[in-house]
Amino acid sequence: MDGDKAFSFLKGLFLGVIAGAAAGILLAPKSGKETQEDLKKLAKEYQEKAMDMYAVTKKTLEKKLDALKKAGSKIDESKYMGLVTEVVEEIKKDGAVTAEAAKKLGNQLRGDWDIVKTEWAK
């Protein structure tokens, strides 16, 4: 299976699992209160996974920034945005996240430029 087909398969599998879990919760013979609790639990799990993925992606980006700093390179906004794009593409290629999740991760990391700029100046 080539990379694109594998990624599409994994993406479809992941979406199928989410849809199945949501349908299972909604169709289970439980009271409304129990169903609400199950949905809250599911939402919390996915939020935690998203935060974990953000932390992993940020750590990868920080390693690349540290390597640049050790090499004596300067960083500007353009270079930083390029690094963010590179890291997000790596994460997408690994199939760790969907394209939509990768886009959100990239947007979050791009928004961190002011923090990185301040840290870099130290």
- For the segment 19-25, the average pLDDT, to the nearest whole number, is 69
pLDDT of 114 > 70? The answer is yes
Q: What is the pTM of this model?
A: 0.59
Q: Burial of 31 by CB count in 10 Å (0-12 exposed, 13-18 middle, 19+ buried)?
A: exposed
Query: Total structural domains in the chain?
Result: 1
Q: How far apart are alpha carbons 103 and 44 in whole angstroms? A: 21
49-106 pLDDT, tens digit per residue, is 777 888 888 888 889 888 888 888 888 899 889 999 998 888 888 777 778 888 888 8
Q: Which domain holds residue 56?
A: 3-121
pLDDT of 1 > 60? The answer is no
Mean pLDDT, all residues of the chain:
77
Nearest to 97 by CA among 57, 44, 41: 57
Chain Cα centroid distance, residue 92: 9
